[in-house]
Chain A
Amino acid sequence: MNFYKQAADILDRLGKKEGSIKGLTLGNAEVTDKKRMYAVICETLKHNTTLSLVLQESKLLALEKKLTRSLALLLLHDLLLQSRGIQASDAWPMKQAVMRHKARLKAEFVKAKIKVGAKKDGLIEGEDELLLPRYVRVNLLMKTPQQVIDAFIADGWTFLPVPPSPPAPPPANTFHRDEHLDFMLVFPPKSDLHLHPLYVSGVLILQDKASCFPAAILAPPKNAYVIDGCAAPGNKTSQLAMGMGNGGKIIACDLDLRRLNILKRLTTKAGCTNITALNTSFLTLDTTTPDNSKVSHILLDPSCSGSGIINRLDHLVDAYAEEQEQATILETTTTGGAAERAAAEEKKKERLLSLGEFQVECVSKAMTFPNVRKISYSTCSIYAEENEHVVTTLLKKHWPTWKLTPRAKVLPTWHRRGYPSEVCDIPGLVATDEDRAKIADCVVRAVPGGPEGDLMNGFFVACFERVGKNSLPGLSPVWKGPSIGGIKRTHEEADEMDDTTTDAATEGTSPAKKKKKNKKKKKKSATTNSEETSVTAGDFASTAAGVGGEGGGVEDDEASGDDE
């Protein structure tokens, strides 16, 4: 009885979006039987549509005034879908209220099943939508992808040399490498790897492919100083550390202390040693401290509406919350609630706009760091208000100091780019449709789910880079270990980069010219300058020759950047 009351309370809170299912059930200290509570809530939400239909048709709430909607849903679920029935004392008035109408409710349930065309109870809510594959990132600080692949093959998994086509999750007991990120492995949906020894030891990290994009695009070099602006729970942070081979320094900020502690735990488990966690807001960081003034790369993944995330549980909660709203609107108004619905739409739009403003503020703050060169901005949203509109607002404010990194350096093989129609006019930069298309081509989008989608969560990434300022002193030679930039490039790309690096080596003057713009070099004499630059240019030549395509990604970035 108490159980049902607690469950009804949790449902009410979910309806008002005051938490997540897991947080309110498994993470709730007041709940004694956590697993049962979680199961009841999930199942009730899964069958919410049918149960609400039964509730409506039988007019149970109108006849039994003492029953609240959420309690009624729970009791209906247990009565209709559980063989054991409602587990409460028969003397409980709420149970009696429901049992009085047992025949009617069962009849309405059968009718609802017929309406939906379900043959068994389990299929009431329709067939499962296409499930996302389980993406796994190999922690390159500990093992190489090939070693992990061999370990799984030894475990009995079958390795597919190419991903299935047409694009689909791999079938049971098979896996393959991701075609865009070479440190990523793709497993069948619902693969449970959280007890696997490789995961427990930190070699494998369960991270969605979409959330690997920002760090792969930012690709800071080994000894750089990097800030992760909204870091918790830390998957992108540990990916940055992996890419930098634990060199340099990563400053991870987050306002939520509990989540920051999760970040500390996860990154320690992943073997990252170059991360400093700060419990502050990114917007309040002082750009003049010695550490912060050395920062050259910033990764920003600010709060967004989360509209791209596919999480079945969230879907259920959203559907339930919306229905609650509709139901209360219908109950409290006489005109059918059209005005209230419109008001709710307005609120949603306002919320998106305010999120967009916050996101612009974050990136603008990032641009104030004295030595920052590259900023990666990403959201897990599908709305243009948080994506293309934010990018165009930023370009309007900060161009020509800042520009968008072109497609060639932002996952060139990834097919889905931004929406040109959402790119607004920018005086001096964007006027024609062709300009719009070029801008849209620089950013990366992912459409959630499949089969029309990309088999991952919805996502958006844009990379800004400072115009002109392209190098920092004291960069060490390129990381020669296992590939960490992780971005596969086509053959043409690799050739193009080789060309540009050799050009940079021969034209000793142009790097020198650009480097003079660097504030820190102003004090040095011209001769030492050219010596330095010739040394570094020479480095470029030798290292570019020594590296095949991928690992040299970062250095090549600067060299080819000179020519733009």
Chain B
Amino acid sequence: MSGAQFENNNEVGVFAMLTNSYCLVAIGGSENFYSVFETELKDVIPIIHTSIAGTRIIGRLCVGNRHGLLVPSTTTDQELQHLRNSLPSTVAIQRVEERLSALGNVIACNDYVALVHPDLDRETEEIVADVLKVEVFRQTIADNVLVGSYCALSNQGGLVHPRTSIQDQDELSSLLQVPLVAGTVNRGSDVIGAGLLVNDWCAFAGLDTTSTELSVIEGIFKLQDQGPTAVVEDMRDSLVDSMV
């Protein structure tokens, strides 16, 4: 769990995008920003420097998981080619014609499930299901349609908008099949998707994130450094039973 800032801005989820098999970062930032990522991810997954549609807000424009990446129709051909060259061959990339072109704001996904904006085109929904190999659900989070902005999702858990009711959390949790918690990031900001980057083993938040928020994030995404003691904790019941 690391904290980072892009040009003194705590919203790291806007300028970068993180999945289990690759990481995209915007160009034009300082080396400090990149070194944070490289410390955690060097030699594990490729870190790709790119722009999308000539902008730096790549985290909000594109969405993906380890199966694929979706980019908006405004992506230039060169950028698309660059991504195709840099991404691992297991990752499919697809440019999507969609009226709601900020895909990162309207789609939240992990490797199995995706939540989408209720007004998303059916065609886009089908593309999401095919390329990302996920089950797609039209949902709102705390009555907000921008699901990608207001939640951060990984295969282990999810963090949602702080005003999500318990009922909604239960419903979402059963759809997504992961535990959920409602919380904030970057000292009380409810735009979780913009403030947090997460995959199965690491997470990045803005430097403003309080330690309480950090502990909540680490708990729900199961990110603590788990030594041998954790294994014993989890397996304690079965071990004791077998000895008896």
A104 with B122: in contact, given A114-B174, A114-B175 (CB under 8 Å)? yes
A107 at the interface (CB under 8 A from B): yes
Contact A102 B137 (CB under 8 A): no
Cα distance, A103 to B124, chains bound together (Å):
10
Stretch in contact with the other chain, from B26-34, B69-77, B128-136: B128-136
Task: Tell me how far the C-beta of B74 lies from the nearest C-beta in chain A, rounded to whole angstroms.
Answer: 24
B99 at the interface (CB under 8 A from A): no
Task: Tell me how far the C-beta of B215 lies from the nearest C-beta in chain A, rounded to whole angstroms.
Answer: 30
User: Total number of A-B contacts with CB less than 8 angstroms?
Assistant: 33
Q: Find B135's partner among A101, A110, A114 (CB 8 Å cutoff).
A: A110
Q: Find B175's partner among A63, A104, A110 (CB 8 Å cutoff).
A: A110
B138 at the interface (CB under 8 A from A): yes
Contact A103 B125 (CB under 8 A): yes
B171 at the interface (CB under 8 A from A): yes
Q: Find A104's partner among B125, B130, B171, B174 (CB 8 Å cutoff).
A: B125
Q: Chain B: interface secondary structure?
A: helix
Q: Chain A: interface secondary structure?
A: helix
Contact B122 A107 (CB under 8 A): no
Cα distance, A63 to B123, chains bound together (Å):
13
Q: Find A107's partner among B136, B171, B174 (CB 8 Å cutoff).
A: B136
B-side contacts of A65, CB under 8 Å: none
Range of interface residues on B (Cβ < 8 Å): 10 to 19
Contact A106 B135 (CB under 8 A): yes
Contact A103 B171 (CB under 8 A): no
B-side contacts of A103, CB under 8 Å: 125-126, 128-130, 135-136
A100 with B171: in contact, given A107-B135, A110-B135, A111-B137 (CB under 8 Å)? no
Cα distance, A103 to B171, chains bound together (Å):
19
Cα distance, A106 to B175, chains bound together (Å):
12
CB-nearest residue of chain A relative to B171?
A114
Cα distance, A513 to B128, chains bound together (Å):
95
Chain B CB within 10 Å — which of A103, A104, A114 has the most? A103
A-side contacts of B126, CB under 8 Å: 100-104
B-side contacts of A110, CB under 8 Å: 135, 137, 175
Cα distance, A506 to B174, chains bound together (Å):
83
A-side contacts of B135, CB under 8 Å: 103, 106-107, 110
A-side contacts of B136, CB under 8 Å: 103-104, 107
A–B pairs, 12, beta carbons within 8 Å = A100-B126, A101-B126, A102-B129, A103-B128, A104-B125, A104-B136, A106-B129, A106-B135, A107-B136, A110-B175, A111-B175, A114-B171
| Chain B residues in the interface with A (C-beta under 8 A) | 122, 125-126, 128-130, 135-138, 171, 174-175
